[in-house]
């Protein structure tokens, strides 16, 4: 009678689906190595630069009637010459006046000619201006994307990738399922 239950058990395992038993167990962690990847990151980088702004200043000379040194000297010299040319006292006065006017006009023309020979002066000055400049810079940063965890269960070592470092111990799921192998020789169904 003992053979009957064993035969039923063998037939049940071979012909029917196997049911698994699952449970968890806490096992020691041997190591946890961070998995690091290079990731591109964009950021804005700014700095200040000092530039010189150039300003041009033009000094202009007046083109209107000038009473400069040439006009004064010409009037004095013309007055002296006119005074020498006059023959009577009334003629000398008129000669002095006419000489002063003509000498003043000649001296005024000399002043205008000197002004034309000396064009307006341009003076260039500069002043510093601070300008902020920015650019987008891409740099590579190292980012931890997970951990390769090595642990031991039932005398064997295993490695699994996890999203975090589990610490010194880790819970593992154990599924017990019978292995259906080739039937022994002489087995008939």
86-139 residue pLDDT tens: 666 667 777 777 877 887 788 787 777 776 666 667 777 888 889 999 999 999
Question: Is residue 184 assigned to a domain?
Answer: no
Question: Is residue 6 assigned to a domain?
Answer: no
pLDDT value, residue 110: 77
The number of domains in the chain is 1
Question: Is residue 88 assigned to a domain?
Answer: yes
Question: Is residue 13 assigned to a domain?
Answer: no
What's the whole-number mean pLDDT along residues 54-72?
A: 67
69-85 and 89-117 helices cross at what angle (nearest 10)? 150
Residue 60 pLDDT exceeds 80:
no
- Beta-sheet strand order (sheet of 169-176): 156-162, 121-153, 21-59, 169-176
pLDDT value, residue 13: 45
Between 62 and 154, the higher pLDDT residue? 154
**Which residues fall within 8 angstroms of residue 130, CB to CB, at 6 or more apart?**
48, 49, 50
Structural domain range at position 107: 67-118
Cα(105)–Cα(117) distance, rounded to whole angstroms?
18
Question: Is residue 91 assigned to a domain?
Answer: yes
Share of the chain above pLDDT 70, in %: 78
Between 119 and 39, the higher pLDDT residue? 39
pLDDT value, residue 162: 95
pLDDT value, residue 5: 38
Confidence (pTM): 0.38
Question: Is residue 87 assigned to a domain?
Answer: yes
For residue 142, how many other CB atoms are within 10 A of its CB?
10
């Amino acid at each position: 009678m003992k053979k009957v239950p064993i035969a039923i058990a063998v037939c049940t395992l071979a012909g029917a689906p196997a049911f698994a038993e699952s449970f968890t167990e806490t096992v020691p962690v041997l190591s946890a190595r961070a998995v690091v990847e290079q990731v591109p990151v964009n950021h804005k980088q700014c700095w200040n630069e000092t530039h010189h702004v150039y300003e041009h200043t033009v000094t202009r000379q007046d083109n209107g009637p000038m009473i400069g040194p040439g006009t004064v000297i010409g009037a004095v010299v013309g007055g002296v010459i006119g005074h020498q040319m006059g023959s009577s006292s009334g003629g000398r006065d008129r000669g002095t006046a006419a000489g002063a006017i003509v000498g003043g006009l000649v001296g005024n023309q000399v002043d205008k000619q000197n002004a034309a020979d000396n064009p307006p002066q341009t003076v260039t000055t500069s002043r510093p201006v601070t300008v902020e400049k920015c650019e987008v810079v891409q740099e590579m940063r190292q980012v931890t994307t997970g951990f390769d965890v090595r642990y031991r269960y039932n005398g064997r070592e295993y490695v699994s990738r996890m999203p975090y470092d589990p610490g010194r111990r880790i819970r593992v799921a154990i599924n017990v399922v019978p292995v259906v192998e080739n039937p022994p020789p002489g087995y008939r169904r």
